[in-house]
Structure 1
Amino acid sequence: IVKAEAVQRIYPQVDFAIEHHQADKEDAAQIEQIVRSFVHPFDLGKPPLLRAGVIELEPNLHILLFDMHHMVSDGVSMAIVIDEFSSFYAGEELPPLRIQYKDYAVWQQSKAHRERIGRQEAYWL
């Protein structure tokens, strides 16, 4: 927050690592303890606002851990993440994105969009 206004910070480089844990697949208490320690508060002043981890139970059996602060996603976004991750897991390739969120933000600030919103506001007033 700068001068009582929320701001977005874009970092050119962020250190990110996937946590790796090992556990006995028969030891539910150990697995639960790893999961509980994985989920903890984010420091909103430092990136990243998401974390990922893996619990290896056997060489070909793992649990994926994924924690994301609600400021960087919502329910719709999480559904997309899950769908795309499932596609990758199934060996599929995703099509390239046609637009990025920043493209939408630029459009939203355009004169044409502001005029359209002004007409809609005038109608409702």
Structure 2
Amino acid sequence: MDPDEAGRHRRENVAISGAGTTPPDHVHLPEVIAEPMACYGAEAPSLHPMGRACRLHTRCAGIHPFLDGNGRTGRLLLKFGLMREGFSPPAIVETADRLACQTPGAGRPEISGRWITGAPAPSAAV
């Protein structure tokens, strides 16, 4: 990622590979980016929190406001929306432990058990 672009709205038009839609023109981003947040608040009484968070993620992904990091940003918005509604924080699993988490009962059951239950990791013996 170009350090001059990090944390900024994109300053050029982009296409999302494999998508059937085109993100809005970069000159319209300041107005367009406010829309998903306004809808998120307005939909509060009528939608389940999961539906609201998913819509926020989808709308922001379609806008594609950055040159890089749109997927990560969208996932953070999704998780933030759910946490704000009382859902548990997302599990952050180290790469080495992912297989055990994806296959309960396989690999290292103590890891998959922690992931499923949210139990803290045991202290390392010194």
TM value normalised by structure 1: 0.34
Larger Rg: 1
Higher helix share: 2
TM value normalised by structure 2: 0.34
Higher strand share: 1
